[in-house]
Amino acid sequence: MADPSSHVHGYPGRLFVFEGLDGSGKSTQARLLGKWLSSQGYRVFHTEWNSSELVSNIIRRGKKKGLLTPTTFSLLHATDFADRFERQILPPLRAGYLVVCDRYSYTAFVRDSARGCDSAWVRNIYDFAPSPDRTYYFRVPVAVTLRRKLASRLKISYYEAGMDLGLSDDITESYLKFQGRLKREYDRMVATDAFTVIDAERPVERIQMDLRLDLRPLLEDFPTGETLQHEG
């Protein structure tokens, strides 16, 4: 096994993070990569944002009733992530798994900052979260995400559009403005948080091949074994 001390987080496993706007294609790519890694014999664990059983129901109810202020939103998601990290991310990292993470603490940095929370305060809350081995940022124009959303026939949600911020009475216009804020935060973090930028407007197959090629150096001499299945 490769020396774990040579990696930023110090654990035997590897942590691969997928970030980007809704509709950027990151979730599709995370699932495809996880399946491919499993097919190559690696032990893989896949985890998604807002998947803690401890908090997710509370967040859903709060959203439905419109009770979440930016600070409440931030603290609830931080609690969700902390539980998810302790239960879903850290154990497989310690056990030497490849952890494919669909959204990490960066999602909170972006969304909370866009809602007016102090960025230093937010980052301090997530100080326990170690740096990933690789963070892929799926960069795509906001207009493209809107087009994909409309094509999928999925309804634009109230909070996804940032309607709680009063940016516009029109949900489509509010979506464009709020998602634009998120994109500016992601773009700003490319340099400060060592993101690997992925042109997410390209074909799915091309993106997937590039991801596999990029990860090869991190998988040299990495052990294979039984795959851990996780139902998110």
- CA–CA gap between residue 157 and residue 33 (Å, rounded): 28
Q: Are 129 and 17 in contact (CB under 8 A)?
A: no
- Asked if residue 106 is part of any domain, the answer here is yes
- Asked if residue 139 lies in contact with residue 18, where contact means CB atoms within 8 angstroms, the answer is no
Please report whether residue 100 resides in a domain.
yes
Residue 3 lies in a domain: no
Per the structure block, which two tokens stand in for 63? 């959203």
CA distances from 204 to 19, 99, 217 (A): 16, 21, 22
Residue 2 lies in a domain: no
Q: How many domains does the chain have?
A: 1
Q: Is 232 a member of any domain? A: no
Residues of the chain above pLDDT 90, percent: 73
How many other β-carbons are positioned within 10 Å of the β-carbon of residue 89?
23
- Measured distance CA(219)–CA(5) in Å, rounded: 15
The encoded tokens of residue 12 equal: 């035997």
Please check whether residue 94 lies inside any domain of the structure: yes
Q: What is the extent of the structural domain holding 177? A: 24-212
Residue 85: what pLDDT?
Answer: 95
- 131-164 pLDDT per residue, tens: 999 999 999 999 999 999 999 878 898 889 999 8
pLDDT, tens digit, 9 for 90 and up, residues 83-117: 999 999 999 999 999 999 999 999 999 999 999 99
CATH of the domain at 90: 3.40.50.300
pLDDT, tens only, 30-73:
999 999 999 999 999 999 987 667 777 777 777 766 667 888 88
Is 224 contained in some domain?
A: no
Residues 6 or more apart whose CB falls under 8 angstroms from that of 214 comprise 134, 196
What is the structure's pLDDT at 54? 72
Residue-wise pLDDT tens digits, 110-139:
999 999 999 999 999 999 999 999 999 999
Whether residue 87 lies inside any domain: the answer is: yes
